[in-house]
């Protein structure tokens, strides 16, 4: 399978805590993207990090990329109930289309 | 500027019938991708089309599934003689460049139920 793997599969935290999700992939990439999917909805793009970047920030999101380990992490700081969703990493390792992992389901309780 | 539009949102078909799923990309986008999502799973790539051309169909099942993106009108994913295993959410995404260094915009999906 060309899919990446997210870890953990599910994560439950309290509002205000930080949430960290990890993604591993198999072959070399040019960039990696993170998407969010609310229950029953389509995917929404969060952030893109290029292979020559090590860290990127967007609001409460922080993404890191370690190409030597073929892994990335997504950190959501000061989480809110509205952050409850599934989070997917996607890579261009297939060449013509984004390849998605199985996702991490985040549940934030108030 | 409307986003990616998929219809219908929900589709129920009996085994053996045909399912037609439509996707209108964002205005100005000529690259369309179809993905399938099974419950509790990630998205699996099916096919990548550009206007009137299939660029990559490596994720499409060899039988019963076909896709097109005509010069005019939406992209169509067609599933013939549906079986229960085809029940899933089908998502369409579009992009302006076809290069994977930009974000893809997703529709809300079509949830196909085969009874």
pLDDT tens track for A71-97: 999 999 999 999 999 999 999 877 788
Would you tell me how many other CB atoms lie within 10 Å of the CB of residue B9? 12
With contact defined as beta carbons under 8 Å apart, do A31 and A51 qualify?
A: yes
Of B103, B107, B108, Cβ closest to residue A33 = B103
C-alpha to C-alpha distance for A99 and A1, rounded to whole angstroms: 10
Which is more confident, B97 or A55? A55
Of A33, A42, A45, Cβ closest to residue B107 = A42
Which is more confident, A41 or A84? A84
Of A31, A41, A94, Cβ closest to residue B45 = A94
Looking at the complex, does the CB of residue B33 fall below 8 Å from at least one CB of chain A? yes
Q: Is B39 exposed, middle or buried (0-12, 13-18, 19+ CB in 10 A)?
A: exposed
Local structure of A98: helix, strand or coil: coil
Query: What is the mean pLDDT of the segment spanning B52-74?
Result: 94
Q: Distance, in angstroms, between A98 CA and closest chain B CA?
A: 7
How high is the pLDDT of residue B1?
52
Query: What is the mean pLDDT of the segment spanning A38-58?
Result: 94
Give all strands (DSSP E) within B38-115, no chain letters.
43-50, 53-56, 65-68, 75-79, 88-95, 105-106, 110-114
Measured between alpha carbons, how far is residue A57 from residues A49, A80, B18, B31 in Å?
10, 18, 45, 28
């Amino acid at each position: 399978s060309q899919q990446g793997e997210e870890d953990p599969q599910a994560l439950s935290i309290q509002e205000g805590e930080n949430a960290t999700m990890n993604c591993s992939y198999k072959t070399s990439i040019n960039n990696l993207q993170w998407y969010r999917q609310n229950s029953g909805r389509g995917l929404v793009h969060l952030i893109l990090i290029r292979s020559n970047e090590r860290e990127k920030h967007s609001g409460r999101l922080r993404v890191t990329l370690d190409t030597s380990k073929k892994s990335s992490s997504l950190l959501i700081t000061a989480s809110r109930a509205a952050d409850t969703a599934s989070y997917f990493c996607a890579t261009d390792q297939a060449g013509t289309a984004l390849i998605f992992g199985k996702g991490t389901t985040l549940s934030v309780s108030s | 500027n409307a986003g990616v539009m998929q219809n219908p949102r929900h589709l129920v078909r009996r085994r053996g019938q045909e399912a037609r799923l439509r996707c209108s990309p964002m205005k100005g986008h000529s690259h369309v991708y179809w993905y399938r999502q099974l419950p509790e799973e990630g998205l699996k790539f099916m096919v990548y089309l550009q206007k009137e051309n299939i660029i990559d169909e490596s994720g499409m099942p060899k039988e019963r599934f076909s896709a097109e993106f005509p010069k005019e009108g939406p992209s169509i994913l067609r599933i013939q003689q549906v079986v229960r295993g085809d029940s899933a959410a089908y998502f369409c995404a579009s992009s302006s460049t076809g290069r994977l260094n930009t974000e893809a915009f997703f529709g809300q999906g079509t949830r196909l139920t085969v009874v």
